[in-house]
Amino acid sequence: MQFALPEALWLVWLLPLLGLVLVVTRRRARARVRSFAGNALSDRMANSVSPTRRAWRATLRLVALALLLIAAARPQWGASEVEIEQKGIDIVVALDISRSMMADDVKPSRLTRAKVEIQALVESLRGDRVGLVFFAGAAFPQCPLTVDYPAARLFLAQADPSMISAQGTDLAAALETSLELLGDGDSTHKVILLVTDGEDFSERLDEVRAELQRRGVLLFAVGMGTPEGAPIPVFDDAGARQGFFRDEAGQVVVSRLEEAPLLELVRAANGVYIRTGAAGIDLDRLRSELSSLEGRTFAARRVTSYQERYAWPLGAGLLLLLFEGFLHDRRRNS
């Protein structure tokens, strides 16, 4: 036998102390009555109560409380072995953390909104492995494929343009790094979720597009931003806005959502393109698309399963409390 919540059993050791407190309290109450009513009247009142029945009632209460505490500890016995399979798909989220993702045409900014939406997606996963790739003018894997969703969300929360010194947006590097993270093998359960504003300065996009098509990896592209765009804010070390990014001619640079390269990519990969609206990423559509994919079994393991038996002490404790309620401690009049 074992207990699922053994810490609840520590409270059982308090029951003798509770019994002692009840005895001391009863004696003090009797002494107060004697000092107020006098010996004759207090003896007459005491004779109307059966000490034996009163002791039995107190004992039943303590035993019932002990049984309820044992039930709270969830006793388990009757073991059996079951096989648990870990099944799902592999999802690599390639997140653009270039300076242009700080534009606020999607509130509060493209990058902040993307992080919030991806975290919500990760929280809804059940058994799928997720990995992270951050990119700008270069790309690097931030989190390997894992089912440790809290760890993935922690890595995601750290995403910031300062993590990559090479600015710009290299979609080819992002996709190449994502493919490396996914590894070789059957691609029917592998997905790349590319989250970017679409501005691409790479010269190898045609090669990567052909590689996606050859390997059959499914691509979901999420366009962050609006076609009208917004200027790119510049911040100091303390995080205070200092103005907007300017080109060599001193003109404020307006970053716009570039959908053309993203649409070409998803067509080559037989994927899906989703534009971010005022309400954010269409997570319902994204979840629906992901749930329609056939997962594979990552691992299978045998675990010992115990039957829950808390109902026995729970039922016994409640019956004792019920019986104690019908047990009177007053003597019958002769």
Q: Are strands 233-235 and 241-244 parallel, antiparallel or unpaired?
A: antiparallel
Residues comprising the chain, all counted: 334
Interatomic CA distance for residues 61 and 191, integer angstroms:
60
Indicate whether 70 and 90 sit together in one domain: no
**Res. 302 pLDDT band, cuts 50 70 90:** low
Determine the pLDDT at residue 96. 95
The answer to whether position 210 is within a domain reads yes
**CATH at 145:** 3.40.50.410
Indicate whether 44 and 102 sit together in one domain: no
**Res. 334 pLDDT band, cuts 50 70 90:** very low
Q: What average pLDDT score do residues 188-194 get?
A: 88
Cβ(64)–Cβ(130) below 8 Å: no
Number of domains observed in the structure of the chain = 2
Indicate whether 46 and 102 sit together in one domain: no
DSSP, residue by residue, 150-208? HHHHHHHHT--GGG-SS-S--HHHHHHHHHHHH-SS--TTEEEEEEE------S-HHHH
Looking at per-residue pLDDT, the higher value among 334 and 72 belongs to 72
- pLDDT above 90 (res 186): no
Q: Mind listing the pLDDT tens digit for each residue in 156-172?
A: 999 999 898 888 889 99
SS3 256: coil
Count CB-CB contacts under 10 A for residue 162. Answer: 9
Indicate whether 208 and 320 sit together in one domain: no
Determine the pLDDT at residue 86. 62
Indicate whether 69 and 118 sit together in one domain: no
Looking at per-residue pLDDT, the higher value among 212 and 192 belongs to 192
Indicate whether 14 and 92 sit together in one domain: no
Indicate whether 294 and 315 sit together in one domain: no
Residue 13 structural domain: 2-74+310-326
Interatomic CA distance for residues 133 and 301, integer angstroms:
30
The answer to whether position 334 is within a domain reads no
Q: What average pLDDT score do residues 255-264 get?
A: 89
Count CB-CB contacts under 10 A for residue 235. Answer: 14
Indicate whether 144 and 61 sit together in one domain: no
DSSP, residue by residue, 61-102? HHHHHHHHHHHHT-EEEEEEEEEEEEEE-EEEEEEE-SGGGG
SS3 325: helix
Residue whose tokens read 């343009």: 161
Indicate whether 239 and 292 sit together in one domain: yes
